[in-house]
Amino acid sequence: MSVAELVGTFRNGVHPHENKEQTENFPIARMAFGKIFTLPLSQHLGAPSKSIVEVGQTVFRGQLLAEAGGYVSANLHSPVDGKVITIGPRRHPRGDLATCIELEADPFSTQTINASPQNDPMNMSTDDFVASIQDSGLVGLGGAAFPTHVKYKLPEGKTCEHLAINGCECEPYLTCDHRTMVERPEAVVRGITIAAKILGAKKTSVGIEKNKPDAIAAMQEATKNLDDIEVYPLKVKYPQGAEKMLIKAIYGIEVPAGKLPLDVGVVVNNVATMTQFADWFDEGLPLIERVVTVAGTAIARPANLIIPVGTSVREVLDFCGLDMNTQQVIMGGPMMGMPLSSLDVPVLKGTSGLLAFTEAPKGHQNTLACISCGQCLEACGYFLNPARLAKLAQARRWDELDDFYVNDCMECGACSWVCPSSIPIVQLIRTGKGALRELKANQQA
């Protein structure tokens, strides 16, 4: 019996209905190129990128459009051959109008990329590697879109013992990482080899939930001759794909509150990020397209599609057959994704799924009073008290939220999911977090 079978998971958490059968057996396909591509300058965590192109300029696929606007920021490349038509405010998936570069694709272009492989990453120094990754515009493809290069620049005195690769895909409906592991296990392994070499990690563990037996088999097959990569089948549970939960599930180590995974010697990356490493170093492909799961009750032809970043959500949904009676469209997974207020928004680097439903969730319309049942406490992977946090936020007692460690909440939504009174706990906590941040900024000023 391996360690994985003994540990297998973290404490607490929930198990929503997986709903993955819609897309899990469909191979990744490619969608036809659209006409208009909208690229927000801010589609990653950190500072927005700075545009280096002008309106009217002709750009080619893979050309740099915007440079990183700081250390925690990423480059942005053109997903198509075409022309810059505007640089101005366009709707961002989070709902506001943000500065975007709008491209018109050249209808006569073959859209082939003229890229050459990068230098051999195995002989690179860490600094060169970090610079190279920042050049590629790579951000974490798991959903949070955190610029990847930041993770690879280890601070002084910190060492990375283990590299943990997240293949959990614990969000319901999403199967893009699943399909990536089934179809491109060698690319994942290639990415892991590069990452482990740069980090100096002794062991790499790939955590995959047990509801993906074909992905586990494919990864085991691809790693059978490699002693330093181990595949860990994990119990199916949400939010196992969260960094700290994954570390607990694989290694049995708890990351202390307010600390980073690196403080316990672990770096966590998503499997899709690993394939992007392989694509960048072996083929010279920057992050210009990604695999997106399109599913939900309102989708006639669910699919896993390779979609160029910047493609309009409306085009993608029309391609997959959107129902006329669609009530809600979510970007990302149903637990943590954001509901879209408009379909005329682009697919971002961090978009893992597009889900459309014919029935909007009825829960919030009949929110009842908290009955103090404690189910949210049993769901919270961070051992917080979500009910208390929600009550404080509702009472606008922002300053007290800090006493209950509100900033450790990762907003996974497990508490809202279990709540029998349908209280929008996460929304209240997010409201509180924002207000608390403002309060602190005011106090400092």
Stretch that binds other proteins, among 3-11, 89-97, 120-128, 292-300 (CB under 8 A): 89-97
**Helices in 252-396 by DSSP H: which ranges?**
271-278, 313-319, 375-379, 386-394
**From CA 3, how far away is CA 15, in angstroms rounded?**
23
CB contact at 8 A, 27 and 179: yes
Closer residue to other proteins in complex, CB, 189/340: 340
Our finding on whether 97 is near other proteins (CB under 8 A) is: yes
**From CA 267, how far away is CA 150, in angstroms rounded?**
11
Those residues whose C-beta lies under 8 Å from the C-beta of residue 112, and which sit 6 or more positions away, are 61
CB of 5 to other proteins, least distance (A): 40
Closer residue to other proteins in complex, CB, 4/428: 428
Our finding on whether 96 is near other proteins (CB under 8 A) is: yes
CB contact at 8 A, 421 and 383: no
CB of 415 to other proteins, least distance (A): 14
CB of 281 to other proteins, least distance (A): 37
Closer residue to other proteins in complex, CB, 58/367: 367
**From CA 66, how far away is CA 78, in angstroms rounded?**
9
Stretch that binds other proteins, among 55-63, 249-257, 269-277, 431-439 (CB under 8 A): 431-439
Nearest to 268 by CA among 410, 388, 434: 410
CB of 342 to other proteins, least distance (A): 5
Closer residue to other proteins in complex, CB, 358/431: 431
Using CA atoms of 170, 176, 181, 187 in order, give the dihedral in degrees to the nearest 10. -130
Choice from 123, 365, 443, 444 touching other proteins (CB under 8 A): 365
* Cβ neighbourhood burial of 104 (10 Å; 0-12, 13-18, 19+): middle
Q: Which residues ranging from 161 to 200 are in contact with other proteins (CB under 8 A)?
A: none
Stretch that binds other proteins, among 240-248, 296-304, 368-376, 427-435 (CB under 8 A): 427-435
Our finding on whether 89 is near other proteins (CB under 8 A) is: yes
Our finding on whether 385 is near other proteins (CB under 8 A) is: no
Closer residue to other proteins in complex, CB, 309/425: 425
Choice from 50, 83, 94, 203 touching other proteins (CB under 8 A): 94
Nearest to 191 by CA among 131, 273, 310: 273
CB of 100 to other proteins, least distance (A): 11
**From CA 340, how far away is CA 199, in angstroms rounded?**
37
Closer residue to other proteins in complex, CB, 301/364: 364
**From CA 221, how far away is CA 206, in angstroms rounded?**
13
397-414 burial by CB neighbour count: b if 16+ within 10 A, else e?
ebeebeebebeebbbbbb
Using CA atoms of 348, 15, 233, 10 in order, give the dihedral in degrees to the nearest 10. 100
Our finding on whether 424 is near other proteins (CB under 8 A) is: yes
CB of 339 to other proteins, least distance (A): 5
Our finding on whether 428 is near other proteins (CB under 8 A) is: yes
Our finding on whether 431 is near other proteins (CB under 8 A) is: yes
CB of 366 to other proteins, least distance (A): 11
Those residues whose C-beta lies under 8 Å from the C-beta of residue 328, and which sit 6 or more positions away, are 339, 356, 357, 360, 361
Our finding on whether 430 is near other proteins (CB under 8 A) is: yes
Closer residue to other proteins in complex, CB, 113/426: 426
DSSP 322: B
Phi, psi of 98, rounded to the nearest 5 degrees: -125, 160
Our finding on whether 88 is near other proteins (CB under 8 A) is: yes
CB of 310 to other proteins, least distance (A): 19
Strands 353-357 and 338-339: unpaired
**From CA 266, how far away is CA 300, in angstroms rounded?**
41
Q: Which residues ranging from 303 to 362 are in contact with other proteins (CB under 8 A)?
A: 338-342, 360
142: which 2 tokens? 């798991």
* Cβ neighbourhood burial of 58 (10 Å; 0-12, 13-18, 19+): exposed
Q: Which residues ranging from 11 to 40 are in contact with other proteins (CB under 8 A)?
A: none
Stretch that binds other proteins, among 104-112, 184-192, 267-275, 429-437 (CB under 8 A): 429-437
- Site size for other proteins, by CB under 8 A? 22
CB of 373 to other proteins, least distance (A): 20
Closer residue to other proteins in complex, CB, 105/436: 436
Choice from 158, 301, 364, 440 touching other proteins (CB under 8 A): 364
Residues near other proteins, by CB under 8 A: 88-89, 94-97, 338-342, 360, 364-365, 367, 424, 427-428, 430-431, 434-435
